Structure 1
Amino acid sequence: MAAVGVLLLTNFLLWSSISAIYTPDWASLDTRPLPEWYDDAKFGWTAHSDGATTTAPKIQWWKLEGKLKEAFKMAVTKKKRLKKTGVGKWTKYGRIFMHWGVYSVPSIGSEWFWYQWIVDGRKDYIQYMTKNYKPGFHYADFGPMFTAELFDSDRIASIVKQSGAK
C-alpha cells in the first residue's frame, strides 16, 4: 500500500511541475526553447492533414515570391512571436523543406485550401468544389483519398541533389 502512495505522490509531483512550466497561452509558450534540430535541419518532409504548398515538376519560384510572403505572414500570427523564436539558421543557407498533406488531394491552391474554401469563402474555391465534388462534401472526406500512390522518394532526392541543396 505504501508503494501505491509513493507512486501516486511521485506522479502528482511530476505533473504539477510540468504544468507549472507553461500556461496555455502564446506568451508562455513563446518562452519555451527551440529544439536542437531547429537550427540544424537540412531537409524535412511532413505528411499530415494540413500540410503546405503542393509541388510541381517546374516551379518558377520568382513568380511565387509574393504569395509565399503572404502565406508566411498568415502563418506567423504575430510579428512579436517571430522576433522571439527567430527563423532557423537553415533558412539562411537555402536548404529545402517540403511539406505535404491531405490538402494536396483536391489539387487546388495550397496548404491554406481549407481556410480559403471554408473560412474565407473564396468564390473560385467554392466553384471548384461545386463542380468537382458532391453536395455536402467535407474537408475530412479527402482523408481516405490521400494515398500517396505516386510518391517517389528517389525522384525527390534526385531533384534535391540537382538543385545543389546541401
Structure 2
Amino acid sequence: MNPWLAPLLALAVAASAAAGAEPVKFSDALYAKFQDARCLQCHQFNSRRSNGRAWTSHRTRYLCENCHKPALTGLLGGEWMAPPGEKMDYTGYSARETCELIKRNTPTGDKAEVLSHHLLTDSRVLWAIKSGMTPAGRRPTMPGGYDEWARDVRAWVADGMICD
C-alpha cells in the first residue's frame, strides 16, 4: 500500500464529515453563555422591566467611573457603560428571541462584522470573560474562558448566525 494513501484517505474522510456537519446555531453555541450573570448584569442594567441596577442600587449611573475606575476594570476612561434602556435586555428570553433581539438591535452595517467586533474585542465583553473585577471584588468570569467563547462566536458567525 502506498504510504501516502492512508493519510490522504483519513484527510478525505475528515473533510467529508466536516462538510456534512450541522451548522452552528445560537441555541447550541452561545445561548447559555448569554444567560451568564456577567452578560445579564450589564445587559439588564438600564432595564426597568428587569429591575436593573440603574433603577435600584446604581441610581447615579452617570458617575460610573467614580467607583469603576480604569485602574480597577482595565477599561479606558469613558468605556465603563451599559447598553441604553431595554433595547438589549434579553432577560428571560428564549434562545431564538435572544438571538433575534441582538441581531435586530445591532447597529447598522455588516451585522456579522459588528457583532464579531463587539463579542470578540469589546473591552467590556473581555472584562466579563477575563477579569470580572469590581469595586466590591472579583466576580466570577464566564465559564469556559475566552478561547471557548471566541471559538463559539466565530463558528456561529461563520455559519450564518442561525437563531434556532
More strand by proportion, 1 or 2?
1
TM, length-normalised to structure 1: 0.28
